[in-house]
A and B are shown apart, each in its own frame.
Chain A
């Protein structure tokens, strides 16, 4: 993939994460170092499309869940998989505005040893911190030879996250 395209996708992914945490009223997201210890949870969602396919995985320490719960959010152990799902949804909408359509799969949850193994395998993650929570994002992509990604968002009448549309 061309370097500019990859930069745009990773930028969109990071924006998706920042926006999602803002919507959950979590503290501002900042770059962080990889945690010293093992990660406790990982969520992975695959996507495919005519020009772009791949997966997004999100790994997190238990402190992320504890932090969310401490802020009054009900969340169970699958929360990291649901975060991956919601981040992928946001990324999908951003990619549509750049002229690329993907289909999302269903998120899968990994715990403890499996989650740590996933984190070790993908060391080149983007690590982010919000409050006491640390998460690592990894986007793996395979693109077609003629893959392009528009540099600017198209003006489109797309639904926004949190928006409600009534059909009557």
Chain B
């Protein structure tokens, strides 16, 4: 059975590429968005997205705003969201947790740890 689709939301093409390579090598399908608005549209248009990997500081709509918009629209934790960001400020981590994020990684990431976290979160989200 093929692995699910992961949406990467980050304004940096390099980060999207680095995360995408790590996930593709682990067998995941990958979708990309450049900011929170594109991210929300991608989730609404693609029911197969099993997990979102989400940056915080982005133009147009940042990651925390996107997460809170998902919460307001009744989709808290659907799909699950893993934050991947340069930020580590406790108040931001708390805000993401309140809005339904399932985890937080401070960049830079290690590919094997990222994939292990994705495996864990998608296994919980889509039980066999």
Which chain A residues have a beta carbon within 8 Å of chain B's beta carbons? Answer: 20, 23-24, 73-79, 81-82, 85-86, 88-90, 92-93, 96, 101, 104-107, 157-168
Closest CB pairs A-B (n = 9): A89-B86, A159-B88, A82-B12, A76-B13, A165-B104, A75-B14, A76-B14, A166-B103, A79-B14
Chain B residues 80 to 128 lying within 8 A of chain A, measured CB to CB, are: 85-90, 93, 97, 101-110, 113, 117, 120
Contact of B89 among A75, A78, A101, A167 (CB under 8 A): A101
A-B contact number at CB 8 A: 96
Contact status B113-A164, CB under 8 Å: yes
Give the docked Cα–Cα distance between A159 and B109 (Å). Answer: 13
Contact status A105-B57, CB under 8 Å: yes
Contact status B108-A20, CB under 8 Å: yes
Report A-chain residues with C-beta under 8 Å of the C-beta of B46. Answer: none
Interface residue B59 (Cβ < 8 Å from any Cβ of A) = yes
Report B-chain residues with C-beta under 8 Å of the C-beta of A164. Answer: 103-105, 113, 117
Contact status B14-A82, CB under 8 Å: yes
Contact status A161-B18, CB under 8 Å: no
Interface residue B32 (Cβ < 8 Å from any Cβ of A) = no
Report B-chain residues with C-beta under 8 Å of the C-beta of A162. Answer: 105-110, 113
Interface CB pairs A-B, < 8 A, 24? A24-B108, A74-B17, A77-B13, A78-B14, A79-B14, A89-B85, A89-B86, A89-B87, A92-B86, A92-B87, A92-B88, A101-B89, A104-B57, A157-B90, A160-B88, A160-B106, A161-B88, A162-B105, A162-B109, A163-B88, A164-B103, A164-B105, A166-B103, A167-B97
Q: In the complex, given contacts A104-B86, A106-B57, A157-B90, what are 19 additional A-B residue pairs having Cβ atoms less than 8 angstroms apart? A: A23-B108, A74-B18, A75-B18, A76-B14, A81-B12, A85-B86, A86-B107, A88-B86, A89-B88, A89-B107, A93-B88, A158-B88, A161-B106, A161-B108, A162-B106, A162-B108, A167-B97, A167-B103, A168-B102
Give the docked Cα–Cα distance between A106 and B102 (Å). Answer: 24
Report A-chain residues with C-beta under 8 Å of the C-beta of B14. Answer: 74-76, 78-79, 82
Chain A, Cβ-Cβ closest to B87:
A89
